[in-house]
Structure 1
Amino acid sequence: MNNTRDWHWFLNTLVRIHVSGDDGSDRISYIEHIVRQGESPPLHIHEREDEIFHLLEGEFKFRLRGDEFTCGPGEVVFIPKGAPHTFLSLSPAGGRFFSATTGEDFERFMRGLWRIAERAELPTPGAPTPEAIEALGKAAAAHHMPVVGPPLN
């Protein structure tokens, strides 16, 4: 059974949904993420959702609307819908955070690409194939989250 509250591998990260958009009428998702050092999604926009990051472990560099800043455990970052953003996990031990979104696009995007984790730890890292990158871009656009630039490094 594919329970959304189980651990899943989403690209090179480990994720678990604590509150699904399917749980309430306002479609709020609350998702736990565990990432390796160096993990960074491409610069992207959520066209229909605000996003909140609550950092639990590790240091992260964020880019939001062209500004860059570093945050750590206990800090919260608010990303308004329509704002280009990304992050980079800086700590050698990686990082852990919760994200909350105010719609169903991000959660559904993840569900379409994740796979059930064979164990509750990060997947074996690997660079995506050109086909996977193309599929990721198409899925992001289909869920109103266009990619607008590269990841941070």
Structure 2
Amino acid sequence: MQRRKFVQAAFAGASAMMVADTFGKTRSKKGFKVDSGKDRFNEPIKYRGVNPNDVKISAKDTDGQLSVFEYVGFQKIGPPLHVHFNQDEIFYVVEGEYLFQVDTEKSTLKAGDTIFLPQNVPHTWLQLSDKGKLVYFLQPAGQMEEFFKKMNELKGPPSEELVQQIHHAHGMKIVGPPISL
């Protein structure tokens, strides 16, 4: 009999915590617009100091459930092969051409194409065209905004050790080099 009461109490407690977690959030009740070429909070982030990587929907807007970024590339570059421990990523190519690698499989994407990158699977991409634009989603949002801000603050090229530390602090790990042509 006592075991049944314990199970019932545990279930009731867990249910109450889930309800409190759902209704205790501070999610905004209003929609918003982010203008073209603008960052959600007017705090633009430059990937590698050149390429705009603007927050369009912040983790703060969704209680950490989703974040959306717009990347405009002016260089034929991409990130090192890496994994996100807790986020799936979805990339939509708005303009240009990109080579994506998911685990060991490579795919070329052009404007209008979409690719899904599951968490804990190594992935990277390389911009192939002179100019490109991506819109990408992270679900759950994780700490990508903080990661990009931290990388943007660096003065000069960081050591590999520092880059790996920053990745780990934000739920990621570098597992290989970037794609090269």
* Higher-Rg member (1/2): 2
Distance 1:53 1:140 in 2: 20
| Candidates 82, 101, 104, aligned match of 1:66 | 104
User: 1:101 and 1:61, CA in 2 relative to 1: closer, same or farther beyond 3 A?
Assistant: same
TM-score by length of 1: 0.81
- SS state at 2:135 partner: strand
Let me know the Cα RMSD of the aligned residues. Answer: 1.9
- Answer whether contact 1:20 1:27 (CA < 8 A) is retained: no
How many matched pairs? 138
TM-score by length of 2: 0.70
State how 1:4-153 maps to structure 2 within 5 Å.
4-12=41-49, 13-92=51-130, 94-102=131-139, 103-114=141-152, 129=157, 131-153=158-180
Identity %: 28
Shift of 1:69: 0.9
Structure 1 stretches of 5 or more lacking a match? 116-127
Shift of 1:142: 1.1
Return the letter of the residue paired with 2:94: L
Higher mean C-alpha deviation, range 53-62 or range 131-140: 131-140
- Answer whether contact 2:45 2:52 (CA < 8 A) is retained: yes
Structure 2 stretches of 5 or more lacking a match? 1-38
- Answer whether contact 1:39 1:88 (CA < 8 A) is retained: yes
User: 1:76 and 1:100, CA in 2 relative to 1: closer, same or farther beyond 3 A?
Assistant: same
Return the letter of the residue paired with 1:143: H
- SS state at 1:111 partner: helix
User: Higher RCO, 1 or 2 (CA under 8 Å, sep at least 6)?
Assistant: 1
- Answer whether contact 2:96 2:111 (CA < 8 A) is retained: yes
Identify, as 1 or 2, the structure richer in helix.
2
Distance 2:46 2:159 in 1: 15
- Answer whether contact 1:5 1:18 (CA < 8 A) is retained: no
Return the letter of the residue paired with 1:19: I
